[in-house]
Each structure stands twice: as structure tokens, then as C-alpha cells.
Structure 1
Amino acid sequence: MKSAINLRHLRAFVAVARDSSFTRAAERLLLSQSALTVTVRQLEEHLGVALFNRTTRQVVLTVDGESLLIAAERIIGDFDHALAAVTETAKQRQGRVPIAVVPSVATRLMPPLVRGFHEIYPDIRITLRDDNGRGVHRQVLDHDVEFGISNVWRPYPELEFTPLTSDRFGLVCRRDDPLAREEGPFNWAGIDQKRLFIMASDTGFYTALQNTPEFVERCPTPAGEVLAMVTMLDMVRAGLGITLLPELARPAAVESELVFRRLTNPAVHRHLCLIRRRNEALSQGARRIWDYIRAQVPREIELNAAP
């Protein structure tokens, strides 16, 4: 039975051919001369030809050996070049890892997570690419980032969704709005769709609300749609209407003009996921960030929870 041939056999053959000596080649490869001799013999037996003419004074390539040397050096060179290229790419990825995240996650969750991660891994830099739900999915699909954070905008079969956390929707209105007079959760029955502005269909907010029967039933024709969350909050501040946002998108605690009241009967949640391409391994840097986020997000959600 012929021995399986691999790069070890080719490297041994090339070393002997270049040094014209089993002794010198064995020293360079850090092998015993007997082990090197066995390796070359296995290659010759597999090919069914003699690769060297051996005498007591010299080792010379045969015609078959000269033909193999050209191919063997090319194969080894291509392999070593490929390894070097992959290693260099891995180093670059480890140094800077872009992540696509929806704006509410970028502003509320990521700052403390990035700070904490950099304290542990100072050589891995996180680049945040905030986008709406549709954009996060597209960046992952297009290989612009290795993974992203959003709720499921569309269940693409090419993507894998790992549950991360959830936050609850609530009503956002001006502090002087009649809907802000009472404290505590807010019932769906009190929503006036003529005053309601919602986030546009490209966003994960829209997807979560459209999956809620109460929203579809009570708010079939809201006053309008807005693509950017910042614009939405500015419109509410200006007294143009009210909106529905998840807790991570609610106005900051220091916001004096707006209030946030959780929705009830029923409560509605946005389910955030880590999103990656299915059956594709993450780089070392991205894997460390992924694992850190999964471990730390529950604590950050608790700190950001509305009172």
C-alpha cells in the first residue's frame, strides 16, 4: 500500500535537491538523516520513480527529479504565500472589527460595552456602523461587517439569528401632553392614530409593530412615517404628535420635554439578535467581541430599563 503524500514529503525532497546532501538537508529541517531518508523514499515509492542518483560522494537529481522539483517548489511557494496572506488578513481583522448596529443599540448599549471591551482587549478596535434594521441585515449579507445587532427585519435564510435581549415598547409624548398626566403603563386603547407617527418600514421598529395585532387593528393609517429616530423625537418635541418606541430608544433620563410610558394590554417587545452569515466562521477579533456582547448585554439592559 502506497504512503499518503503531503507537503512534508515535498519539503523534504526540495531540501535534499537544493542542498545536494541528505546530511545538510536533515540539519536544516531539524530531522534525523534516517527520518529524512525514509520520507524521500516514501515519495519515490508513491511516484514509482527514482528522484535522486545517490553515490558515496554526491546526491544528484534524476530527470524525473528535475521535473518534480519545478512543480514541488511552485506548490510549496503557493501554499506558503496563501498562509501568509490569511495570517495577515486575520491580523488586520483582529486590529479593527466593524459591527453594524441599529441606532438605539449604538447610542444606549454600545458605549459602555466598547469601553469595557477595550479595557480587556486594547489591541482590538471596534468600529460601529449604525443603520436601520434593513441596513444592518444588508451590511451582514454584503460582507461589509462580520455581524450586526438588530431585531429580525426579514428572516433571510443566508443569515443566522442568535437571540440577545429584548426591550419593551412604550408611548413617547411631550411632558405637557394630556397622555403624560397619568403615570405607569399606557393602554393601547388610548392611542389616537391621527396623532401617531411611526418609524418607516426599513426599520426594525416598524417590523415589530406590524407583528402586533393591536397595532394593526387600532393604527391602520397613522399620521406618518419617519426614517430617522432623531427626526422622530424632534417632531414629538415640536408637538406634532406622539410615537411608539422601544425602551432603548426612549429619550434620555435627563430629557425634560418628553416622557416614556410602557405599553400594556398587551405589552409589546422588540427582540434583538446577533446576526451573522450562516455557516461562516468569525475572525478571532469578531468572536471575542461577539462573546463579550452576549455576556454583558443583560447587565446593560437592566441598567437602561425604564423606571
Structure 2
Amino acid sequence: MSSDGRPSGAHLATRLQAISLRQLRFFAELADGANFSRAAERMAVSQPALSAAIRQIEALLDLTLFDRTTHRVALTDVGAALLPHVRRLLITADNAFADMAEAAVRQRTIVRMGAIPSAIPAVASQLAAFKARSTEPIDVTLCDGKSDSLLQQLHSGMLDLVVGVHPVEEPTLESIPLIEDALLLVVPTNHAFAAAKAISWSDLGGNEIVHFGGGSIGEVTSAAMRQNNLTPSARYRVDQVDSLFGLVRAGLAVGIMPRLYTMGLGWDGVALVPLVKPRIVRRLVLLSRRGLAAEHPAGAQFAREICIGLGAALMGSTRG
């Protein structure tokens, strides 16, 4: 026990292992709905049974997880601190049960992967190559999303691997470097900058400039523009590649975007010019939770096999 009478970390970890998945689901449902009757209905149990399960958890841990009044149920600070870990454990358990079913019925293992949209073409090509050459019983699912959203899914256990932008250093994640994706200037082919080998950020003053406002790209681009006393267009705002290209082709603006976003697009009517002084890059990495090899050996094996080819595929798509 600690000096304040609470169980020590090691003692509490032992007690936590005695809680069943069903009890954890009760806890998560009540935390989400903050109402015993609604949570009991969703879990298909009686309200007294749900109340008893919550009391059992609290008694086992010697902690109060919910503050209860006549009209209100709310998480305590301790309950709120436990909730994200409970959710991650439940998602991991659901994935494990799905994997067990696949292993029992089809002798296959599932690896769940996410990638930012601009990396999907390269990821898809490497996934197809892996499926063509590999005899391992591994099935890979793939989804796209913004880097922040994919990171949340990785932390929660919904994804095993993510191709995304290198985040602020996080001790719970491991990363394998893939490429540096430089920001470039998109201009109409008749623009004065179109034939330039490179353009400095400071040379962009006086132009109507559009760029993606959200996510990591927006943060990086906005910071670079502020540093060079540049202001994004107040007339035109875009979130899609086709929209940016459309404005540029029409001669209404110049655009800033990562080179990887130009992969597979028709460049008719536009020119792509490197931006320098400074050269701004976003670093793409293959991310996993620390300890993936122990938690999901097939996922770790797939990561090792795909990362070299994936880096080369992404690098090829950023040339030109």
C-alpha cells in the first residue's frame, strides 16, 4: 500500500488483471452514457446487475470510479484516467477474438493498417506486391485518414500500423523512417515562376496563395508562410487537391502542397517548382505501438517486409 492508503502500482496491476472483459465493458458503457438504465439496456442486463458489477470493480481496486447522485453519474478523476486504457484493451480484445476466428476457420491472421491519403497509392502497390510474393497466412486491411485520426486509432488498438507524418516524439510508439516529402509551388504554365529551377519563399509576396488548411500539412505550410511574412488567400480556401489545381490552372492563385500529393495527377496547365530557403519537408514514417512484435508478431513481420519497398515506392512518387 502507498502512504495515502491506496494500493501500490504493482499491487493495483495485479488486481486489475482479475477484472473480466465483461466487467470492463460495463464500466465503458456506463462511462459513455453516464446513466445506469441506458447502459444496462445497451448491455442487455438488469440495472441491479450493472450496479453490482461496478461495485465489484470498485471494491476489487479499492477505488471510486464514479460519483453517484440521485440524478447524475459522473466519472471520478481516477475513472477518467482509466477509461482510455479500458477502451484500448477492449478494442484489442475484439481484434484478438476476430483474429482467433480467422485463424480457426481460415488459418489466417489479420494486420490492420492505415495511411494518409497521399501515401495510399504507394501503400497499395506494395500491398499488392506483398500478396503476390508472400506465402505467409496474413491478410491486410487498409484504410485512409488524416494523420492525427490515424494516430488515435493506433493508440486505441484499432490499427496495428500507420503510414503517417512523424509526430511529436511519443514514447509509446516506434517509427521507421520512409521519406522526406518536400513542399513545392504549383503555378500555371504561363506564370513567371513556371520555368524556374527553384523559388524562395520570400519571392512569393504579392501572389494569391492557396494551401490546405487542415492537418499536419496546414500547420507546416502556415508556419513557413508566417516566417516569410506571407498571407494565405482570403478569397480562396481549399481542402482537396483537385480544387487547388483548378484554381491554379485558372490563373486565380498559386498553390503550395507536398510533392507526394501530385502522384498520379495530370499536370496539364500547371508547373511544379521546388520551394527553397528554407526547404520545408514533412517526414513520413511507418508507425506502430512499442512492443508490436510481442503483441502481434504477424504485424511486426509484415512491417519488416513492406517498409523497404514502401520507402522506395514513396521516394519514386516524389521525384520529377
Pairwise TM-score range, normalised by the shorter structure: 0.5 to 0.7
Q: Distance in 2 between matches of 1:139 and 1:87?
A: 18
**Deviation digits for residues 130-151 of structure 1 (CA, Å, limit 9, x no counterpart):** 1122222122123221121111
Give the distance between the partners of 1:153 and 1:250, measured in 2 at CA: 23
Distance 2:309 2:263 in 1: 22
State the structure with more CA Rg: 1
Which of 115, 123, 144 is the aligned partner of 1:101?
A: 115
Match status 1:274 vs 2:286: yes
Query: Which of the numbers 187, 190, 209 marks the counterpart of 1:196?
Result: 209
Q: 1:118 aligns with which of 116, 131, 138?
A: 131
Length-normalised TM-score, structure 2:
0.58
Deviations 1:198-222 (A, max 9, x none): 2123x2212333564xx32225531
With over 3 angstroms needed to count, the CA separation of the structure-2 counterparts of 1:254 and 1:265, relative to structure 1, is: same
Cα drift, residue 86 of structure 1:
8.8
Tell me the distance in 2 between the aligned counterparts of 1:219 and 1:130: 34
AA paired with 2:308? A
- Counterpart-to-counterpart distance in 1, 2:216 and 2:280: 13
Query: In 2, are the aligned partners of 1:169 and 1:263 still within 8 Å (CA)?
Result: yes
Correspondent of 2:228 among 218, 223, 237: 218
CA spacing shift, 1:189–1:296, aligned 2, 3 Å: same
1: CA distance, partners of 2:190 / 2:209:
16
CA contact (8 A) 1:153 1:204 kept: no
- Percent of residue pairs bearing the same amino acid type: 18
Note the C-alpha offset of 1:261.
1.0
Give deviations 1:113-168, integer Å, cap 9, x for gaps.
12211112265333321112222212212322112111135545543333222122
Q: How many residues matched?
A: 219
Give unpaired runs (5+ residues) of structure 1: 1-83
2:163 to 132, 149, 165: 149
CA deviation profile, 1:229-259 (whole Å, cap 9, x unmatched): 3433344334432222222112547521222
Assess if the C-alpha contact under 8 Å between 1:235 and 1:241 holds in 2: yes
Cα gap change, 1:160 to 1:172, in 2 (>3 Å): same
Aligned-residue offset at 1:271: 0.7
CA contact (8 A) 1:94 1:283 kept: no
The answer to whether 1:240 aligns with 2:252 is yes
Partner of 2:262: 250
Which residues of 2 match residues 34-73 of structure 1 at below 5 A? none
Contact 1:149 1:274 in 2 (8 A): yes
CA shift at 1:189, angstroms?
2.1
Distance 1:194 1:302, change over 3 A: closer
**Which residue of 184, 209, 230 maps to 2:197?**
184
Shift in CA distance, 103/179, structure 1 to aligned 2, threshold 3 Å: same
Range with bigger deviation, 295-304 or 150-159: 150-159
Q: 1:163 aligns with which of 177, 198, 202?
A: 177
Asked if 1 retains the 8 angstrom alpha-carbon contact of 2:164 and 2:285, the reply is: yes
Cα RMSD after superposing both structures: 3.1
Q: In the alignment, which residue of structure 2 is the partner of 1:206?
A: 218
Detail structure 1 runs of 4+ shifted over 6 Å in the superposition.
none
Q: For structure 2, list consecutive stretches of 5 or more residues without a partner in the other structure.
A: 1-95
Mapped contact 2:201–2:277 kept (Cα < 8 A): yes
CA apart distance, 1:298? 3.5
Cα distance in 2 for partners of 1:210, 1:90 equals: 46
**Deviation string, structure 1 residues 40-83 (Cα, Å, up to 9, x no partner):** xxxxxxxxxxxxxxxxxxxxxxxxxxxxxxxxxxxxxxxxxxxx
8 Å Cα contact 2:189-2:270 kept in structure 1: yes
Q: TM-score, normalised by structure 1?
A: 0.61
> How has the CA–CA distance of structure 1 residues 149 and 241 changed in structure 2, closer, same or farther, with 3 Å as cutoff?
same
